[in-house]
Structure formats: structure tokens, C-alpha cells
Structure 1
């Protein structure tokens, strides 16, 4: 009898049981239904990865249909780039409070569903603006879409930590990033075809055709909303079975911490803004650039414009592993920024096949993300990480909004050559920031550029001394 009791105690502790049926003994759950098992976590991971697919798919909808949007809505380039600026404006503020809203107001399950709804509603408003030939309504749609888009990414990361912390977390983050880039890539390469099919069915091009095409793209947002609902159900079920708490972001935002930020951290912020404003706005305007300068067909232009995302999908986890194993983060950031500058110079001043420059840009973009963002954690204590990353994302979105408008104005007044010179200047600013960061870190005896083995030894010494 004692042996049987021990067995039942073991099963109840480690094997969630199916409920009794007609007085029968409880049986262990199948692995795919058991929240403590890898098979079930894989199922959760699938829905987790597709959670942001619709958001990333529709984010670059304007870039995929750049020619059509400008023609059908009769826009200047400056007006067109407002669609990206309006996405960024709400995130200048929400980057600080997205984690707080998830933790303290809605909880990750309800918050994820609400942010997914914002993405869906924003895309519907955006498409309706095209249908009714009301550009102000399209701008409003992008604003609403932006409210949900960035906060949904925070929710996605929260789910990942809740389900995979201490297990396969780094791999999960890599897979989520790959799926996000897949969404952007598919959008870049399929929306032109969708518009063409709608044009054939409706008989002519125009704002109605554009609106219908954008509404079809919104189906991906509905799919992501369904994934959010399924994730909420699975997470609630796991909470009940495993007696685990609902996931939290763990972010603690305290704006007074900003005064304690070091010079090295401010240099990282400058590098971040100066670099990304030369990537995302360029992709937003890239299709027409490749058509006009290199005589590409629209299909070829969309393909080469999306190669940055295509490369980023598999390269991000691989390069992240490389940086983890080697350390020397500042050196890797320097390589990424220098390579990006080389790519923009090639695009601006040569007629070499642009696939070369865009592939180089794709690798550089992936490498910078893997090497730059982790350095924040080396500079600030854990209780300030939420504030530091929130501030970094906030000024990044502010920079993207301002540069998107500036890029449109430069293109309208001076053309693509001057726009590329402007992007080169932005990357040069990032390059100056990296070199300055290297010397500041060296003079102050920092550990930003230590090798992985040296950093591990330093961390061990700090732990032993405590």
C-alpha cells in the first residue's frame, strides 16, 4: 500500500493526469496535451510564432505597393512616407508603457488579444481609407495599427519567456524573429500579384482595387488574432494544470533612471537611431528606386527589396550564436555599420548589380541586431533594463517617424541620389558613434568589447566576490 501511494504521489507531481471517468484510475496525459512536455510546448510555439505574422505582413504593405499607393491615392513621396511615420508616433510613448499595461492592467492573455484587435482594426481602417479614397483615414488606420503592432511584439516575448525560460529560450527568440521576417518577405513578394488579380477582376486599377487588396492582406491579421485566442486558452489551461502564474514582462519603468545612464549607453542610443533610420525608410522607398535606377520590373524590384528580410530570417539566430561565442560586441557592431555604409555607397554611386549590396545590407542588419541590443544589459543593472530598453525603442521610433518624413521630402525635391547620400550620412553618424564608444569603453575599462571567455571570467569573479 505504501508503494502504491508513493507511485501516485510521483505521478501527481510530475505527470498531469486526465480526469477520472466512471471511477477509473487517472491516467497520465498524452505528451502533446501535457503542458510540461516538449511536444505540447512545440504546439504552443507554432501559435506563438504566428502571433506576430499578420502584424509584420501588413507593416510593409505600403512598401510592397509603393507604386500603386502613390498612383491610386495621388500622393507625393512625402505623403506616402507619412504612412510609416504614423505607425511610429504612438510607439514613442507606448514603448515605455507596453510592459506595464500587460503586467498591471490586462495581463498577457487579455492584453495579447486586445493588441491583436488593434492590429486588425487598424488594417481594416487603413484598407477602408483606400476604398473610400480618404487618405486621412489611411493615416488613422496606420496609427491604430501602430498602437497594437509594437505592443504585440512585447506580448509575444512575454509568452516566450513564460513557456521556455531555462529551456529553449534563445532558439525560440530566433524562431520568432525568423517568422516575423518571413511575414515581411511574403508581403513584399505577393501583394503586387494580389493587386494585379484584383485589377483583373474589377476591370481597372484605382483606389477601390487598392482597398480590396489591402483588405485581403488583413486576413493575415485575423489569423494572428485567432492565434492570440488559442494561446490565451492554452496558457490558461497550463496555469490550471501546472499551478503556474500568468507570464509577466518583468519590466520596471522608472523615468528617473534616465539621469543615471552612462555616456556609453547614450552612444548606443545614437548608434541605434542613426543606423535603423538608414534601413527601414530605405526599404519603404526601395521598390521605385530599383525600378528607376536599375530598370527592374516591379516583380524584380520587390524581390530585391525584400532580400534584407529573407537573409535576416535564417541569419539572425546563427549570427546571434556567433556573437555569443566570440564576444567582442563593439567590433561586430563596427563591422555591421561599416558594411551597411559600403552597401549604401554601392547603391548610390555604382550601377553594380544591386543584389550584391542588398545581400550585404541583409547580413549587416542581422549582425547589428545581435551585437548592439545585448550591450545595454552589460551597462545597466537589471532593475534599470526596462527603462533603458524602453527609452532605446522610444527614440528609435521617434527617429523613424522624423526620418520617414524627411526622406519623403528629400526624394520629392532632389531625387534618389541625394536620398542615398542622406542615408550614407546617417550611417556615418552611426560609425562615428561606434568608434567613440570603443574609445570610451577602453578608457573607462569597460567590458563591452571583451571576448566571451574573458566576460565569463569577469562575471564569475564578480559573483564570487559577492
Structure 2
């Protein structure tokens, strides 16, 4: 039996472990080619982004406490979300480049995980020192790591699970991200109350300690990044596999060649998401003030969008793949979202109904909208198209987050809901235009899956001829 030292020496020299060279198989959990080891890697991949998603919505889970303890209005509170989005207006283009050309996937993941941890620490320190601008700086640093870490997570998935397993892996990663957001919504208020009991009073120090405790999840994700880097390096030596690449090729000059259909997809994306994420950021107090919910009940209903998204995203992804008709699905999602916002704005019906509708629509839209980009741009422009789409989405979120806070401070929740409904209406107009543009130009965005498959086969046959 080979000693641990011999095995490590063999790895450093780029040779397989002694057990493998002698023909003795490694234990399944230690063999990169075996399912058990790959499942271990998959678990680490899923937890890689858990801390980032958990801490992203810390402000939403503690909105009342942040505004009271830091003595800020709603516009200033929503700036915490805007500062997260600002760096990602640019980093969406360069995150993949940094991973591919500068850091490599392993160091890139560790570095971006460190940014997430440092950002959360600065955020918490800002609360403890009663310095709101420091909290904003922390969210900016946090944002530098957050979105790029998601790119690294997807790169690892492609590297380890090419082929039929990949869609399932992406679905599991998205589900874990939503679980992180859900746990945050439902636990951070409780954490704050326990810290309050411990310290004997509310205040900025209590808020800071609670945020520090929440930051433990970021440290956990950083540990996962370190272990994953070691296992990936080990697998590279044993299996002689290449280090993962994002596959993103960013050329900003390609923007001038984007079609009308693609620009309409961008508009749908921005106008839709600005009516979802900023709403969730402000939702807890909305449910407390309008529907007289307790803090715990408000947190639960505010997280229902993420709760539904966790199991439904893989299901809807499978459904859209099998059926096709992407534009039709997007129309259904946008109309459902508009219905949910109108119900929340103009009725006192049980808001669980509207929020469940919003959760279903949000999951469906993500599965139907994002793949359409691949149908309207050449493969060599995909990196630029997706980068640009994420960039303007973050720009929209940054601007609308501040605008939503200002509207709430000056006009109240009714006007805020009308504003969100107007954004969804713009998204609906854009998707209807996309339907007719696609129809009159003979595009394949709304074809059934079977017809699309036939066209793809014909295209492949023509290339072979």
C-alpha cells in the first residue's frame, strides 16, 4: 500500500498515484473518474455560491433594522443594492477574460470568493462603526466578487460535467443559490434578535454583529473554493485534463452587429428584472405595513419567489427544452408577473397568491428568455451578447433600485407598485414586438422543439455537403 507521501510526490511529478500505477484502483471517493468523486465535486460547486447569494439579500432581510439603526431613508437603503450592481456593469465583460487569461479557473474562483468575504466584512464593519458610506463600499467590493464567482462556478460545471449531465448540474446550482437566498430571508431577522438579546439593546453594533454572523457563510464558500481548487488540480494531473475555460470571447465591436430581435430581448430582460429584485429588496416592510404581517411572516412571504424558483427552475428548463415556443413562454411569464403586481397594488387579497404567481413567472422567464440569445447571434458572438445583457441588466438594477427608494420615500407603496407595473408593461410591449419581428422575419425563436431540431439537422447536413 503506497504511503501518503509517495502519493503526493507522484502528483507533484505529474504521475498517477502508486496505487493506480500498480493496477490497484483508488477508492471511488478519491478517483476523479468515478461518480462518487464527481458528486463530491458537485456538492462543492453548489456550495461555492451559497455564501454570496445568502449575503446578497442581507439588506432585504434586515430592512427595518438597517434603516432604523443607521438612520437612513429608503433611497439610501436601496443604494446598498445599487452599489452591488455598479461594478458588474463592467465586470460582466471582463470576468470571463480574467478567469481564462489572467488568474485561471482555480485562482480566479479563490480570488473572487475572497472579494465576497472581504466585502461582507467591510459591510459589517461599516455597521459596527456607524459609517454608512463604509457599508456602501463593502457592497461595492462584494459586487466585484459576486457575479464573477457565478461565472467561475459555471466554468467548473462545464469542465467536470460536459454532456447530458450539464443542464441538470446548472439546475442544481441555481437551486442551491435560491436556497441560500431563502435561508437568508428567514433566518437573518432571528439572528438579529438573538444578538439583540445578547447585547441588551438594538443599534448599529447589533446590526454589525448580525452581519458578521451572516458572513460566516461566505467563509464556508471560500473553504469550498479552496478544496475544489485542490481537487481540480489533482484531477488535472491524474486524468491529464485541461483547466476549465469559460468559452467567452468578448469583442465590444460586435455590438454594432446585434439584430433588432436581440435588442428587444435586452429590453425584456432589463424591464422585467427591475420589477422583481428591487421589489424583493423592499418587500418585507411592504408586507408588514400594508398587510399587517409580523416580521417573521413578512420574511417568509418575501422569500417565496426564491422558494418556488429552487425546485421549479430545473422543471421549467426541461419543459421549455421539450416544447420550444420560447416567446410564448416569455409572454405567459410577463403577463403573470403583471397580474401579480396589480394584485399587490390594488387589492388586499391574500398576498401569498400574488407572490406564488410571481415565483412561478420568474422561474419560467429565466428558463425561456436567456436561451433565446443563442438562437439570434452567431456562436462567436455569444460571449459578447451575454456579457452585454448582464451589463445592462446590472445598470438597470442599479438605477431602478435608487429610483424605487426615492419613489417610496416621496409617494408610498401604491405609487411604487404602479412604477413596477409600468416596467413590466414595457417588458410586455417588447416581447409582443419580438413576437411579430420574429414572425415576419421567419425566425426560429417561437418554433416548437421538433421543428427547431429539424432545422438544425438540415443546417448540419448542408454544411457536410
TM-score by length of 1: 0.95
Alignment match of 1:383 (pick from 380, 384, 409): 380
Match of 1:90 among 75, 87, 90: 87
Q: In the TM superposition, what is the alpha-carbon distance from 1:26 to its structure 2 partner?
A: 3.5
Q: How does 1:45-444 map to 2 (within 5 A)?
A: 45-444=42-441
Which secondary structure state, in structure 1, belongs to the residue aligned with residue 18 of structure 2?
coil
Q: How does 1:14-33 map to 2 (within 5 A)?
A: 18-19=17-18, 25-33=22-30
CA-based RMSD: 1.0
The corresponding residue for 2:10 is: none
Deviation at 1:114, TM superposition (A): 0.2
- Give, in whole Å, the separation in 2 of the partners of 1:263 and 1:305: 36
Equivalenced residue count is 449
- 2:461 alignment counterpart: 464
Structure 1 residues 27 and 18, CA, compared in 2 at 3 Å: closer, same or farther?
farther
- Residue 359 of structure 2: SS of its match in structure 1? helix
Deviations 1:177-205 (A, max 9, x none): 00000000000000000000000000000
Q: Deviations over 1:405-439 (max 9, x none)?
A: 00000000000000000000000000000000000
Distance 1:254 1:414 in 2: 43
Equivalent residues of 1:341, 1:424 under 8 A apart: yes
Spell out, residue by residue over 1:260-312, the C-alpha distance to the aligned partner (whole angstroms, 9 max, x if none): 10000000000000000000000000001000000000000000000000000
CA deviation after TM superposition for structure 1 residue 313, in Å: 0.1
Contact 2:16 2:237 in 1 (8 A): no
Specify which of 40, 44, 56 is matched with residue 37 of structure 2.
40
Matched residues in 2 for 1:170 and 1:17: separation? Answer: 31
How much does 1:29 deviate?
Answer: 1.3
Unaligned runs of 5+ in 1: 1-15
Q: Distance in 1 between matches of 2:72 and 2:428?
A: 34
Distance 1:199 1:34 in 2: 48
Partners of 1:259 and 1:139 lie apart in 2 by: 35
State how far apart, in whole Å, the 2-side matches of 1:246 and 1:373 are.
Answer: 26
- Residues 19 and 25, structure 2, Cα contact 8 Å, conserved in 1: no
* CA shift for structure 1 position 104: 0.1
Once the 2 structures are TM-superposed, how far is the Cα of residue 166 of structure 1 from its aligned partner? 1.3
C-alpha contact (below 8 Å) 1:18/1:26 kept by paired residues:
no
Separation in 2 of the partners of 1:233 and 1:331?
45
Separation in 1 of the partners of 2:155 and 2:229?
Answer: 12
1:25 Cα deviation (Å)? 3.5
Report the Cα offset of residue 160 of structure 1. Answer: 0.1
Per-residue CA deviation, residues 124-150 of structure 1 (Å, 9 max, x unaligned), is 000000000000000000000000000
Where does residue 8 of structure 2 map in the other structure?
none
